[in-house]
Structure 1
Amino acid sequence: MRKMTYLVPVIVIAVVGIMSSLFVVDEREKALVLQFGQIKAVKEEPGLSFKIPMIQEVVRYDDRILSLDTDTIEVTPSDDRRLVVDAFARYRIADVVQFRQAVGAGGVRLAEERLSSILNSKIREVLGADQVTSDTILSENRAELMVRIRDQSRSEARSLGLDVVDVRLKQTNLPAQNLNATFARMRAEREREAADEVARGNEAAQRVRALADRTVVETLSEAEREAQVVRGEADAERNAIFAEAFGADPEFFAFYRSLQAYENALQGSNSSMVMTPDSEFFDYLKSDQAGQ
């Protein structure tokens, strides 16, 4: 009975010791076995592993590709047009031992701070190099610049045990003050183009209007000329008729013309007429011929 009393605690302690000495490495991570802060084992393959309980500890790191967004910075290309740039990077922990030695207990947080500093430095260096203009950065043909930033960042990130997989420029814009100036310049340019278009339109309108006015004058002149011709022909025809009528019966023609003269002279607007009694104007009113 006494043996059982001592045996149970020993078994419990043994089980607890065995359980605390076992750990599992996931396929998505890498693990380091540390003893008093020193690396004793590296576990990169997934599966069950062992450590010394109470003496050794396990530190795990993500083995997947991680993402890092950089802070927004200003760069000055070779044409001296400042740009606001921010980027993001894809990286992974390539050498877990070197990573631990570089960042210590700071882990991923400290590593990303250092990697962000490296990325910003290389972004400034590449985008501020000779022959790199703001038009190149803002164009669609900036893939080469991103590859150069990635390669240069990768060479420095190796000292942290990191492998930079990719770097992308997420945003490339003009600063706010430059945007306002650029918009003002673009607006002025568009207004100038609009003014040129209006001036050309007015010039074309003047040409059309002048052509229309000339056409109107020519049409009116032609119509007036034709009217004068027709009027002259009508007057000639009328005179011919009068002449023919006069030749056929001169006396009747004289009588008819006198009646026309009476009608025109004795209008309602003429209230009185002064003439001698023997005036020829009233020959047909006082002669015997008027009674026939």
Structure 2
Amino acid sequence: MTPATALYDLHLHTAWSYDATANAAAYFTAASRCAVRCLAITDHHLTDGWDDARAAARTYPEVRLIPAAELTVTTKFGYVDLLCYGLPETTPLAPQAVLDAYRQWQQETGAAISAGVQALGLSFSDQQRQELLASYRPASVIARQGVTHVRNAVLRDHFLAQGFIHTADEYGPFMQRVRQQVPMPPYPAVERVVDAVKGVGGLIVIAHPVNYFLQHDLVRMDALCDICRLDGIECAHPSVPPELGARYRAYCERHGMFSTGGSDCHLESDIAEKFARHGGPAAWLDEFLARLG
């Protein structure tokens, strides 16, 4: 059963994320129509889309916009996605250096994927990758972010069309072979990212935590809370079953943390079905905003 529309959605992506095509204005239009009070645009790795988000927010003053980003970090447990809220709109030097590292990571990752495919004896040049990006990313985004990695669904369809794979199920194993040919650059280290976010008063929430927490492994949860210096947990998300969400909420209450909810929309087509339908109660928004200040 699809949850009712909540008063907030704190996990949304726009075309400024490498894997998304939605635009900020569409979210604000939907928020106004559905009486959603608060949005956070959490594009992957960068804050390039903030100008678009602020412009949309000015049209709908009844909907509050939270400056945010989803930053993926390297930890001893592997990669972890962190939702970072309350970042300053004028970025100080330390966070800017981290964002610059993510910008470089996106370009290097794209180049490594092209090189890995070519190492398998197949044709996938940087120019071909740029053409794929241009098939779904606005020119203004490519001009700002460069030739990055490509959305998985687009890359999969290209490889199918080229005959590199014969079924969609072969995409995952094929990409494993690509990564074996050319190592992928690691995401920035958790310590560096967390220090930068905390240094400017930002709040950190672990996104869609089921796999990171090994469902509900308290030892793993404690370790990640410590390593990532978490302020909260995304307890309501399409990937979080209600029974686990309740456990995560109880954990937050025991440890003085807040809870958030987000739909993780990426596409325009997601909005009608998923926007703000994460199941998080209204009280969580007040709790979050109180911590945000």
TM-score range, shorter chain: under 0.3
Higher percent of residues as strand: 1
Higher percent of residues as helix: 1
Larger RCO, structure (CA 8 Å, separation 6 or more): 2
